[in-house]
A and B are shown apart, each in its own frame.
Chain A
């Protein structure tokens, strides 16, 4: 079973619907026992980083998710869930979970994109990912596939944790982490077939990791 981490700042139900569609057993929960039994955790998030951290801290859920990560439970962070795995976010001047070194920064609307016109903020819509490292999440996904983004802040982790980048004014990091702890800025649950394939890949990785134990 995959657990969808429930902390009131997530798009839990859309992730849930996508997993249901794929026939992947899943549950929206923040019960530490259930999370511990799950073979992997999806850590979603929408809205603002400050509010997301407040929700996490108020219930002690920040320690729960951190402990699962230290125990090497496979985790997939999505959008704000991806951002707050870093040390810090400029959004609401937020101290974040400090799981992956780096910070989250605001797009600058004076940056220009490929058409030589200023970028619009938020970065909203479909964009591609260029992989700098091999990543199990992208198995079987066309390199030209687009993913759905909607965000005003972008992750800027320490270089060795950058897995993939996306062009929007600058080449920002859209996938970061390490094997088994992945964070994606886009929404795989809203990215059509390539996104669904990514969720399936994550599930398959979790199953293999659980079987190997």
Chain B
């Protein structure tokens, strides 16, 4: 690679860093990637996708806790009579089980809670939840997921025959946050673009 090309690439990388860290550009991009949120529509089940797993101490990660609370609140509002908690099997404890325990502590009846623990990707989550819900004749679900991954999750579930009401954990446009928050958000957005490309190639979307 020529010295000139390296300079151009380096300048572009530094400019990108400055724009991402010190302007709300990535906040806007992330918001644009998310489907709009519907707070009024009901469904047959609420599906809370895995998000962030469990810390080494056995507690839910911040994003996982956020999604769990969203699922509990939706149930309590009467949005659906059933909640499915999904989660990664990796970690100190099983994420879906920890979420279900918390939901029971919040007053949800055990009969209204299902768990799906073995999936490691969004696609696997969709397949396992489909087998869990199809026996109950459930097709319409409220999908709770965090961040820019919501669009891919919605399309993956729709591809398997679900009618999906998206419920992003953070539905409002937030232009705030420090430079580090925005750089973390950029990581999520870039990961999501890569995941979307992979899902399209694999025929999951």
Q: Do A and B bind each other?
A: no
Residues of B that sit less than 8 Å from A by CB: none
